[in-house]
Structure 1
Amino acid sequence: MGYVAGLLFGLGLGISGMTDPARVLGFLDLLGAWDPTLLFVLGGAVVTNFIGYRLVFRRPNPIYAEAFQLPTRQDLDARLIGGAALFGIGWGLSGYCPGPAFASLGGLTAPLLAMLMAMIAGWFVARAIPARD
């Protein structure tokens, strides 16, 4: 099911044009040639999730698992805030976030490769920083 969900997500990114970093950077350019396309994609995702979660949680358990696996932590710590800040900075500089980056692998470019290498390095750095349990 994860493969099917990933495939649908990647297809949605490709069809909506969100694998084009110029479109994302255009959305972030509020004082220039602002491109609202990402707003509609995000809105569609919010509506779909809003409806989907309500339908899924009516079930006593998932179809392919014994129980729902939901996060229980609700606190904010330096790792979460720092990671979110780095994600936003990287997204703003490159125009890629992980989903569209992986969906764009077929047309690998130097900026995409640099972003992917930075993301992989970030994974290793995050694992090296001790987590508070």
Structure 2
Amino acid sequence: MNNMLFRLTSLLAGVLFGIGMIISGMANPAKVLGFLDVAGNWDPSLMFVMGGALMVFMPAYFFLIKPKQKPVNAEEFCLATNKTVDNRLLGGAAIFGLGWGIAGICPGPVVSSLALGNSGAWIFFACMMVGLGATNLLICIKNSKQAQSQTA
């Protein structure tokens, strides 16, 4: 039952997030590119979307989430263990930023955009999945080679 509650809560949160992305315009590549174009015809409206999200999130975080030692619907919080800024982090951030700047959309809103039937969103999503798969494959190969060299 707890697993079902976790899945339903995750589904509800994802649907709510997606609806928010669509309503706010963050699923619209032209709107996002307008926000990123600070040297040209800059559209600051997404800054208000982010500010509004922070105004809702911050009180909820400090009063509801942070004091808890354990999540409501899971055994533990899923937090990153790597706390160092390394080449892998910097490279991933650079690739993410380039992709966002070129396409005008990042992974979260593109999933929301799939429901709108935009063919560009579907192409971006497919390419994103290929990139994620290739990255995972490269990491597995690297880890396998490291394990082999340590046992030899």
What TM-score comes out, normalization by structure 2 length? 0.77
| Alignment partner of 1:7 is 2:18 | no
Moved >6 Å (runs of 4+) = none
Q: For residue 116 of structure 1, report the CA deviation from its aligned partner.
A: 1.3
| Aligned match of 1:71 | 80
Match of 2:92 among 52, 63, 83: 83
Q: Is the 8 A contact 1:61 1:67 kept in 2?
A: yes
Q: Which amino acid aligns with 1:107?
A: L
Task: Say if 1:45 and 1:94 are closer, same or farther in 2 by CA, change over 3 A.
Answer: same
What are structure 2's unaligned runs of at least 5 residues? 1-8, 144-152
In structure 1, stretches of 5+ residues that fail to align are none
* Shift in alpha-carbon separation, 1:66–1:109, aligned structure 2, 3 A: closer
Greater Rg over alpha carbons, structure: 2
Matched-pair identity in %: 43
User: Which letter maps to 1:62?
Assistant: P
1:124 to 100, 116, 133: 133
Q: How many residues align?
A: 133
Distance 2:120 2:111 in 1: 13
Give matches, 1:1-133, under 5 Å: 1-54=9-62, 55-130=64-139
Query: Equivalents in 2 of 1:109, 1:71: separation in Å?
Result: 33
SS at match of 1:65: coil
Contact 1:94-1:111 at 8 Å conserved across structures: no
